[in-house]
Amino acid sequence: MATMKKTISVNGNLVNYNLTYRDQKNLVLKVRDGQICISAPVRANDWDIEQIIYKNYHTINKYQISYDVHLKYDLYGNHPWIKIFDQKINVVFSTDNIHPKLINNELHIKNYLNLDEQIAKIYTFLAKQYKNWFINQTGQWASLMNLHFKNLSLKAMTTKWGVCYPQTQKIMYNIKLIHFKPEIIDYVIVHELTHLEFPNHSKDFWRRVEKFLPHYRELSKELNQPGA
């Protein structure tokens, strides 16, 4: 049967999904290449179909972010590369036990012969290498917004691009942001800094974000677009 493209709102985010009705008993949800695909019985109602997305949104978001990030590097192709600030740089693997380093726009690192370990080592290096960049960028925005933060850290996360702890004035960024252009990262910085004033996503929160980034909706869409 024909597949329909549909959209619902979950936690204020527009979620696109592909819906196909089939001769079957149960609803089946899968995430393929970052796209949500639902196979439903012919007589299934819209409420039941949407509920399966609501109930599984956390897991869906996790897989979509994982898919997005995997398009930001190719470590085992003929010419390994990774994107830093949306620009491809070559990755050079070594059989020696070397410390990771950036040389002439190339990332030199030991070959760990395991994708999960390899990318974990790369993110650990990039978090140390670019921490000062994130501190300086956040500091510039904090000054402009008349805000203050005390601590900043970077780590690989699976479901969030950033976290703010208003009580301790601590901000944590997902190091996977390093793959995106600086304008996209600025949106996450302004977003998390705004949480120092507004812990929730109230109308006042979004008005504050919009004051400093009038085009924040476009930046957010680009950041969270499957396949970006």
Q: Are residues 216 and 131 located together in one domain of the fold? A: yes
Contacts 24+ apart (CB under 8 A), 19-22: 19/49
Nearest one of 146, 154, 201 to 173, comparing CA atoms: 154
Domain boundary among 88, 122, 156: 122
Judgement on whether residues 139 and 215 belong to the same structural domain of the protein: yes
Instruction: Give residue 109's domain range.
Output: 73-122
Identify whether residues 180 and 218 lie together within a single domain.
yes
Q: What is the pLDDT of residues 138-174, one digit of tens each?
A: 999 999 999 999 999 999 987 789 999 999 999 999 9
Q: Indicate if the pLDDT at residue 122 is higher than 90.
A: yes
Torsion of CA 19, 21, 26, 32, to 10 degrees: -40
Domain boundary among 122, 140, 160: 122
pLDDT at 70: 58
36 falls in which pLDDT band (50, 70, 90)?
confident
- Do 196 and 143 share a structural domain? yes
Burial of 198 (0-12, 13-18, 19+ CB in 10 A): middle
24 and 78 co-located in one domain = no
Same domain, residue pair 42 and 77: no
What's residue 228's pLDDT? 34
Would you say residue 202 has pLDDT above 80?
yes
Domain count, the chain: 3
Whether the pLDDT of residue 217 is over 60: the answer is yes
| Residue 28 to residues 23, 24, 33, 67, 225, Cα–Cα distance (Å) | 12, 9, 16, 20, 23
- Judgement on whether residues 135 and 213 belong to the same structural domain of the protein: yes
